[in-house]
Structure 1
Amino acid sequence: DFCMDRRDEVIDYVAEAYGRDKVGQIITYGTMAAKAVVRDTGRVLGMPYPVVDGIAKLVPNVLGISLDDALGRSEKAAKDNELASSELIQRYQSEDEVRELIDLALKLENLTRNAGKHAGGVVIGPSPLTDFSPLYAEEGSSGMVTQFDKNDVESVGLVKFDFLGLRTLTIIDWAVKAIDRRRKVAGEEPLDVIQLPLDDPDTYALLSRGETTAVFQFESRGMKDYIRKLQPTVFEDLIALAALYRPGPLNSGMVDDFIDRRHGRAEVSYPHPLLEPILKPTYGVIVYQEQVMQIAQVMGGYSLGGADLLRRAMGKKKPEEMAKERVKFEAGAEQNNIDPKLASSIFDLMEKFAEYGFNKSHSAAYALVAYQTAWLKAHYPAEFMAAVMSSDMDSTEKVVNFIEEARRGGIEVLPPDINSSGWMFEALPDGRIRYGLGAIKGVGHGAITSIVEQREAAGAYANLYDLCRRNDDGKLNRRVIEAMILSGALDGLGANRASLTAQLPDVLRATEQARRERDAGQSSLFGGGEAVESTPPLELVEVPEWPVKQRLLGERDTLGHFLSGHPMDAIRDLLGSLVSADLGNLDSIPMTERPRGPEANATVAGLVGGVRRRGDSQLFAQIEDGRGRIEAAFFSDAARDYGNLLSRDRVVVLEGRLSTDAFNGGYNLRVRQAWDFEDLLGDRARRLLVELDDREGGRLAAFRELLGQYQPGDTAIALQLTIPGGQGVLHWNGQHGVRACPELIDALRPLPGVGTVKLDLRPAEDSIN
């Protein structure tokens, strides 16, 4: 494993050492899978994209599915009802255009579509690679690639090596560089991550709390659960856990047995006194392949080489080889005066654990990298999390998860800023993290490089015109600027996002005119020769800012998530009487133990995110509320009755059976009933309570004008009004009532003079139940 940034250097070194004609990488072939082949075929046939995309989406989202599966014509589909799509079958049978498309796609399915390079594969030949394989050269690359794939290159006699680019090593490198900059300012020596003490209490405390998001090898929910149970205190614990957390040991109960022995809840015993020195570090449990080899040496009299052959034989599980090895082991044990029955049972034990045994040296190397990342997170959390976020900027979902983790650790993540941000996320001296411009969708590396170079050369940008004029080389186009406006990166240019958007067309025209005049060697009418002018030669218009929801959606579209707030923030106080708990506090709901695990009846609310369909009667929706997220499952009747509610960004209220997810440690909800939040709010809203100070006059008229946009409605109004002569309560109901909805609440709160705005809701039994 190598740092991603320097993997190519290693390959170049190997090519230089062994001969460039003898070293190459390995090709991979991408094939046309079910959905992709439908889209490609439709494009070639000239069919409208929305039509083709709609047909492709009828193919169920199942890994490895074929068109025959989706049409219900395969053996797999006959055994699994969820593979066939009834709507695709119906359209294939009834629509000539669909049948023509699918029939042609069936002929092309699984053909090679494109070529690429294997992520790690490198071959080194004893003579030029052309003696073994045809070669392929990637455009823009000087290195050679074999045209035989990873299976065929082995068949023709070439040896494969895995030169993997490990992202974690790059993260450590970036974090250490940031830390060293900080330490240099403080007059401290650079950090040597190789020499970290392996007994640091803060590191083990962090691990024991399960705060292992972004910690190498230990970040899955299941691993967090086990590391909390283990409560590691020494490096050997980490080596063992890295080796044990795999399907075999987990399913066999080995991990729980190891943890119980570690904490004295189970007896630590050894099959024979000779094995105590070997198994004592793992509390009598065979964890590593090396332990199997040591037992063979100590009890069976094997040589080191023979013990390794035994390990390989156990891994291959060939009965005839195992029978020979058993005779050899028992004979050696007899020479050591060990009872034959005991020797046979120990061999059985070795054979069982050899299926799960992991290479200790491999586990130790990975545990060391895990420890280093945990140490960095414990002692330099801002620098570490900034490096982690930067390493995954191409994955919005991962960046969002890392930002949430940083916030849980008390680290503030500042929005992107055209006058402060660079390409990557950056840890600031005060412990906060500044968002990287590279994480804004639609903004390329070239544009950001130009922006940063100009900023460092001539200072901060004063306004939108100044930004565009100083970066007029074509890299900063309208699309890039619009993305930066929506993300909030230009909020520091003295205008709100709506105004910046309104200014953009005129600014781009003025910038283009200035560029043409400069290229022609002319002086601008408003400029001063070659002098740098930040004052625009036009009036920058100012317009009212967008509503909060529009700004938040702009952030989500460009950053992948809501950064400055959340659409649910405006309605949290309205949800209190509707839900059992918010999605970040589901642990507070009392659960009842059932045969399948803890369960509870619960009502939750949130925004609809991604929705996936499985077969015709199952829907799975991601629901999030800014504090947590949950997967909601809609089966049969629920999918039929409420599937129409699952449109992106709709706020829904869901009632059903809440259960824990054994796979990821989160929660699932099996939905029984669902409601659109606004519809439910209208049904439940009994009275709108508003405080208004109209001592300056004119505010009551504005209040009534706004209400008129939401009348008539069924919700009464109680207005606590303060005027120069005193105060009182005005009531409107009947035809003067309003339609209660989040938009009305949002519109009322910023009105001059308005104080508290609150909805009085009927009890749940009056409307929901």
Structure 2
Amino acid sequence: MIVNDCSTAESLAFIAPPHFIHLRVHSAYSLLEGALPIAKLAKLTVTNNFPAIALTDRNNLFGVLEFSNKLADVGVQPIAGLTLSVDFADQDQQLMQTGNSFYMATQHTSYPSIAMLAMNETGYINLMKLSSQAFLDPVDSQPAHIHIDRLRNYHEGLIILTGGPDGPIDEKLRTTDRAVAVARLRLLKEIFSSCLYVEIQRHYISDELSVEPLLLDLAYDCDLPIVATNQCYFQKREDYEAHDALICIAEGRYVVEDNRRRLTPEHYFKSEADMVQLFSDLPEALDNTIEIAQRCHYRPLSRPPILPKYILAGKDTSDDEQHYLEAEELSRQARVGLNNRLSNLSLAQGYSRDDYYKRLEFELKVIIQMKFPGYFLIVSDFIKWSKEQCISVGPGRGSGAGSLVAWSLTITDLDPLRFGLLFERFLNPERISMPDFDI
């Protein structure tokens, strides 16, 4: 049988093993830093024939589930990751002086960062814990970060990359403080053992060029593998100027200023051929990107929401008993709340107190039937707490403002009967979905 040569060549090209996998991609969920929407990232990955790709947004996992679903839909292996800012005890504690605590807390900081990739479900759970702690641990206006000791508790199932120019090792090598760099690397090796890789990046930055020989020597001295990465923030070189303006917006700076954070046109989504050519002298660094992708065999999946229990009735309490207790509590609070509202406010024109109570009982019946009393109680609880702490909340936005139960529980401050708002737009037994209050 004669086989068409062209089709054979195309088939071989399609099944040819990869020579490089991107492990350091920042999506638009790296807020005011990344400029790659997940949908565009999925398209880029397919166009460039990458069989796998890792998402490592800064300090958050906001985009991981969308990334996992959309990449899997196009036949690409999604690798869940995180770029995490870490406070090493020996580092200087001075923060960037941006004059804006929000940007300081969410964007590029003086804390060095490492990249973390989930190999399995345990690793992904640890990513979630570390990401949460990065925002819970800082005090006052400190930027998001964790202390190095956190990694000792949450290291299982994770692969660690040393972070490149923004990392703790490069940082000290640039200041010729090799002893501290060695100490940091050995500490990471002690925690992560064979899951630690020394990251080599080439964006044609002077800091990278001066540090690379020292970094390679250090990796070999410590018997650690190296890995080639390219931090991707935008799609193509031509996007650099627009992205540079985005960085200025994030940090409250002007494009014309000299002394500010800058990336380079090389921080774009490079093809496999680009990276193979760039690291042709370090084939092992390219091979290790494939090895890492093969070690990561877990992707986050969608699942039904898991709500906390408003009433702690004991471990032996069945789901039906739990639901009954929360339904009773919701009914009690809603009736008391409506009575308080009507005692202090006038009735809507054309409505009697009976109309209000009939509407309340109708809504309660639907809420209990759909098994959402716990949700209403939880939202009411944190809304009341916010108001007690003088934290502003909205008076009621979207379809949630149509709920009289929400008004009775002080979740909203709009009387739905007065404004002719429909509860069915918010919750409807014929359209089963989670309720969603806009706070």
Q: TM-score range by the shorter chain?
A: under 0.3
Per the normalisation by structure 2, the TM-score is 0.23
Report which of the two structures shows the higher radius of gyration computed on alpha carbons: 1
Which of the pair is proportionally richer in strand? 1
Per the normalisation by structure 1, the TM-score is 0.15
